[in-house]
Amino acid sequence: MPPPQLSCSRCESARSPGISRYVGFGAVGAEREARVEATPGEVTSESVIRRIAPDRRAYRRAPLDRPVLVETSSKTITARGFDVSGGGISLRTDLAMTVGERVSMYFELPIGFCVEVHGEVLRQEGTFVALRFVDPAYQTVLAIRGFCRISGLTPAAP
């Protein structure tokens, strides 16, 4: 199905053949729009607005190359963290887990906060396992979100 053809009254007066593309990004989880306008050599009187799939992530992610103690109903193992967010964690482990399985996890953030939380397996692809946190404590979510926020910052130049 072709995208709907919509007129852009705000841009009509400012349009020039040199305008190629404009993409507006909303907040995390919000639907985004991409407005494709006239490209050089093309003359049109309408803009085409396409919907771009929303970013489904509710939280920022940060790398977490740390050991994670994982306790399943059958055994306890040490996995390796890959990345973390306020909503879940991804791990590298040789332990086979089933989707929907509940586990308990313990790990430490590089900022010194100890996280003890229950999780649910969302998917496993080879040694990669994605888990979502189940009813994490409010302080835990705040600490993880704070870590993810500061891990994306670059140090100031001297």
Q: Please write the tens of the pLDDT for every residue from 3-35.
A: 444 444 444 434 334 333 333 333 344 444 444
pLDDT in tens, 91-134: 999 999 999 999 999 999 999 999 999 999 999 999 999 999 99
Cα–Cα distance, 114 to 34 (Å, whole number): 42
Higher-confidence position of 1 and 106 = 106
Q: According to DSSP H, which parts of 5-129 are helical?
A: 9-12
pLDDT range class, residue 152, cuts 50, 70, 90: confident
- pLDDT greater than 90 at residue 155: no
All domains of the chain, ordered by start, with CATH?
Answer: 5-52 (no CATH), 61-151 (2.40.10.220)
Taking the C-alpha atoms of residue 120 and residue 87, their distance in angstroms, rounded to an integer, is 11
Residue 142 has pLDDT above 70, yes or no: yes
pLDDT of res. 151: 87
- Summarised one tens digit per residue, pLDDT across range 31-89 is 444 444 445 555 554 545 555 555 566 678 899 999 999 999 989 999 999 999 999 99
Contact yes or no for 86/45 (Cβ under 8 A): no
